[in-house]
Structure 1
């Protein structure tokens, strides 16, 4: 998994515009960069046969929702995913929620928000404004899924959808 991340990061463009939703003049430019980075990341994932999420936003680019999935023993485990761009973005990383898993693991906060404080948030802080949504998915959600989902499966706390 770590090897895959190291190979993937260079394929996600860094963002340049330091703007959040409250920056009315610069937010459209930042949002354009976010979409470009997400498209590049998703395209590379498809090329490498490692497609693992779908994502869409509201018109303002503030509320995001989609699906993410992981295969374990050739069985697909799929989850709803959602997050909101924080007012202090990009200084503050988005917090990603998988509501279906709320309360199933200690590495999660109320509401199904995944815990990224030990590993991802310090990395995000060092890379403002270069990191964006694609980086949060790649370096925050992907490793979390890779560690937590097999553990939840083994503990019989989640089942594959039929």
Structure 2
């Protein structure tokens, strides 16, 4: 993890409620914390001119979707993102998926779920219940995009919309 990432993550509020989608009122409390952390993360990104995703959930906070993008060689590559909250959340991190990239990289599972097992999952496990969705995006999806999008572009696995 580079210093910039560490500094950004240090500014994202840590969560305290240990609750998942099956925990009723405690889940509602956890969702409030999740939204506050996401709002803060978006503010941090906008302040540093590093806006790179949008996200929203269904009314229950169990299904999330949005867009993420990465700029490479002055071109913006945009993708749909989605994930369901695991029933064992927050002990289990959400598995972020970019379905349109399924099968284009080895660092992905069935359904377009990005591979975070080696680096991110141990970090998540050490930080339960303090890490949330904002942390998964900052420490999981952002580095994955930074590593994979240039590789996919350079190997002609994806093309910019203007080049299609």
Same fold (TM over 0.5): yes
Deviation of 1:4 (Å) = 2.1
Q: Which residue of 2 aligns with 1:79?
A: 79
1:71-129 CA distance string (max 9 Å, x none): 00110000000000000000000000000100000000011000000000000000000
Deviation of 1:63 (Å) = 0.2
Query: Are 1:100 and 2:106 counterparts?
Result: no
Q: Do the aligned partners of 1:78 and 1:161 also contact (CA within 8 Å) in 2?
A: no
Q: For 1:87 and 1:139, how far apart are their aligned partners in 2?
A: 21
Q: Which residue of 2 aligns with 1:34?
A: 34
Q: Which residue of 2 aligns with 1:54?
A: 54
Deviation of 1:7 (Å) = 1.5
SS at 1:123's partner residue?
Answer: helix
Deviation of 1:35 (Å) = 0.1
Q: Which residue of 2 aligns with 1:134?
A: 134
Q: For 2:141 and 2:4, how far apart are their aligned partners in 1?
A: 14
Q: How many correspondences in the alignment?
A: 162
Query: Are 1:64 and 2:64 counterparts?
Result: yes
Query: Are 1:88 and 2:88 counterparts?
Result: yes
Q: For 1:80 and 1:90, how far apart are their aligned partners in 2?
A: 23
Q: Which residue of 2 aligns with 1:149?
A: 149
Deviation of 1:10 (Å) = 1.2
Moved over 6 A (4+): none
